[in-house]
Chain A
Amino acid sequence: MSRKKYSVAIRDVIAEEMRSDPSVFVMGEDIGALGGVFGCTRDLQKEFGKNRVRDTPIAEAGYVGTGIGAALTGMRPILDFMYLDFVYVAMDQLLNQAAKLRYMYGGRATLPLVVRGQQGIGRGNAGTHSQSVEAFFTHIPGFKVAMPSTASDAAGLLRTAIRDNNPVMFIEHKALYASSEEVPDDPNFAIPFGKAAVRRQGKDVTIIATSLMVGRALEAAEALSKEGIEAEVIDPRTLLPLDLDTMLKSIEKTGRAVVVHEAHKNNGVGAEIASQIMEAGFKFLDAPVVRLGAKACTLPFSLVLENAVVPGVDDIHEAAKQVCYK
């Protein structure tokens, strides 16, 4: 085990996979000499050269299309997005091509493509650099979607993503890059998709949180504990596939659920999770499932307003008490 930052854990897994598999390569903006705005590709070009760590023009649709072609012809590209907000520029390639090709070729083609990058709040990057894009990729069938909330999960899930023969949307968080924890050194350390992590055990209420919200949910759980409410915190880790079983097992015990994400609450992934819980576990519920998400407004530039728009520790605390009728 080595203590690593989230961003370094990602860089190291990319390097290890590139060493063991010559078909793995990286493309994106400012990833070569600069090593990426957040350091996720630092020094990779020195080791692997300009052919395998390719800087691209500011033309997302172009290099995503290039990556799809490479993947179809046997390579395992990792496409780097400086900000995941920019996927909107490449949506035709992503959702009309990448998501559909395996189906349209009748399963005779594989598409081992990883699209990775960071999203979310934390730096006051304003409306077009702070969004959460996961709902687009869980809505259109074809992508797997991973959202690691810790350094170790980032490493284990990224390895699974690179080795998967399907397109994977790998969603990191800018505010988590500096967080660090012990990460296994095993060059084959991988976390399977579709297995949620129970971050905290509790018997009174289940809080399901993704990415940055996992930490806030754990903080809220500590505060709730002082008031006699023991919250169980579940991090799904991948949104597609989604580990409903772990959530239902928890809710059978607690009878109450709060779903928290940073993305907009309206039509967000939380609505899907809440619905699945109700369809499969209605009888377990003592209260309606409550969703928390960003308000339906553009993410503001001001850090103060940014925090006012997305769910905070207090919001999670209040929602948990509400479903406990306290």
Chain B
Amino acid sequence: MATKVNMPKQGLQMTEGTIISWLAAEGEQVKEGYPLYEMETDKLTIEISAPASGTLLKIIRGEGDVVPITETIAIIGEQGEDISGLLAEIQSSGTGDNSEETAPAESQKAGVGDKTAAASEAAAAGEPKAEGLGTGTTAGSPAGKGPFYSSPRARWKAEEYGIDITTLSGTGPEGMVVERDVQAAAQNRPKATPLAQQSAAESGIDLSGVEGSGPRGKIYRKDVEAAHRAVSGTAAAGTAARSYREDRLVPLTGMRKTISARMRESLDTAAQAVHRIDVDMSETVRMRESLKAAEVKVSYNDIILKAVSLSLQAYPRMNSRLTDDGILELGAVNIGVAVALDEGLIVPVLRDVDLLSLKAIHDETRRLADRARTGELTQEEYTGGSFSVSNLGMYELDSFTAIINRPESGILAVGAIKDKPAAVKGELQIRPICGLSLTYDHRIIDGAPAADFLLSVKQLLENPYLLV
């Protein structure tokens, strides 16, 4: 009896997934519980195990395909088994599923804040659930075969290894995931990101010789590129270097696709103008050192967020969005904080920042960043911002220009804090200087009030005791 391999639902928000690569070819033997293909959602990239053992008879959806959840993407069965009937059935039902599934996916991409989008979002949240019930899929059951069980020890070990236990197939009683299943997954797990693997294949680099910079030695693309640079000077790498120079087509999928559309939409819509200013961070540095000595952990970014939040409170126009009915000055100060990820970036939102203590800002930022990196953010956690802050201080940039994260109307780009010569009361001194760059929507904010806002941020950072 042939088994259908269906696009799994990997989270409440998931409506479709992109197949990155098949790890087995048609006609090859596959084993239940062992990785079969890699897929990407708008939040994460994961390996999915085969739901059954046998021959991979047919790959229905190829690499790069965007597939709605529950749709069949492959068939596993016995060598020579007749699956023509099954294929016909899939083809006839597949298109029907498709049209239903894409509707909520589209609405999710629409701008947040306009009323129709909010309404269709609610629909999106409800719709996949109904779909799941209709096709007999239970949340948390990867193979879609009833309830999911795991032993306490399997859960403990999975957490230790950073493995999503719900993606595993169990070999214990009643299909329970037990420790050995987690150990097998940990051993088979690629120690490199898909991009790193691709990059290694193209540049002829053996991954076993590459030192990973990620947690538990996970290899990132930049590690492969560094390894490649290290050998590309030598004659032995001649052929590898040639293939590295070949063009590479990366399908525009998942998070990249979302970012691409949103950035274009932002520049098409808002009238983006930029102010930039240098801030003397001497007092902020001093305050942070004092806090550090008192064992209160606070980052510069936390202090900047606090200064921005108080300035937004004082200049509500910066904390607004343009709607069909007029300029909506938002009551709450919710600041998006850009977090860079391997596969792109995401902007989790810190709520009511002006009401939070520095320590609370610190804890909440870290919590959201951690969740962003592990792909656990819920939609509520990355929408609903009123302003954004993007900090690339760790990259030694003096300053840079950011693009507004619509429907917000402003974004502050924070550069590195660098020791620079500064004129202080007619004398030349070395001071820690930070370059701030404010991008604002000139349709609703004029140059002078934007400058007032930026000056307010500067004054707070130069006199950080006003933050308390």
Contact = CB atoms under 8 A, between A and B. Distances in A.
Interface stretch (B149-157, B205-213, B257-265): B149-157
B435 to A, nearest CB: 49
Interface in A286-302: 286-287
Given A255-B179, A325-B178, A325-B180, A284 B172 contact: no
Given A325-B171, A325-B173, A284 B178 contact: no
B153, B156, B179: most-surrounded residue (chain A CB, <10 A) = B153
Interface residues of B, number: 12
Given A325-B171, A325-B172, A325-B173, A283 B156 contact: yes
A285 B179 CA distance: 9
A286 B153 contact: yes
Q: Is the interface of B mostly helix, strand, loop or mixed?
A: helix
Given A325-B171, A325-B172, A325-B173, A283 B180 contact: no
A287 B153 CA distance: 8
Interface string B157-185: 00000000000000111000011100000
Contacts of A189: none
A165 B151 CA distance: 44
A282 interface: yes
Nearest to B154: A286
B172 A255 contact: no
Interface residues of A, number: 8
Interface in B130-154: 151-154
A284 B151 CA distance: 9
A287 B178 contact: yes
Interface in A241-292: 255, 282-287
A282 B152 CA distance: 6
Contacts of A325: 171-173, 178, 180
Given A325-B171, A325-B172, A325-B173, A286 B179 contact: yes
Contacts of B179: 255, 286
Contact of A285 (B153, B172, B173): B153
A283 B171 contact: no
Contact of A283 (B153, B172, B173): B153
A325 B151 CA distance: 12
A285 B171 CA distance: 16
Nearest to B159: A283
A324 to B, nearest CB: 9
Contacts of B154: 286
B173 A284 contact: no
A311 to B, nearest CB: 22
A277 to B, nearest CB: 12
Contacts of B173: 325
B417 to A, nearest CB: 43
Contacts of B172: 287, 325
A283 B171 CA distance: 19
A284 B153 CA distance: 5
A248 to B, nearest CB: 13
A284 B152 CA distance: 7
A284 B156 contact: yes
A286 B180 CA distance: 9
15 contacts: A255-B153, A282-B152, A283-B152, A283-B155, A283-B156, A284-B153, A284-B156, A285-B152, A285-B153, A286-B152, A286-B153, A286-B154, A286-B179, A287-B172, A325-B171
Considering the complex of A and B, which 3 residue pairs feature the smallest CB-CB distances, nearest first? A286-B153, A286-B179, A283-B156
Given A283-B152, A286-B178, 16 more contacts: A255-B153, A255-B179, A282-B152, A283-B153, A283-B156, A284-B153, A285-B152, A286-B151, A286-B152, A286-B153, A286-B179, A287-B151, A287-B178, A325-B171, A325-B173, A325-B178
Interface of A: 255, 282-287, 325
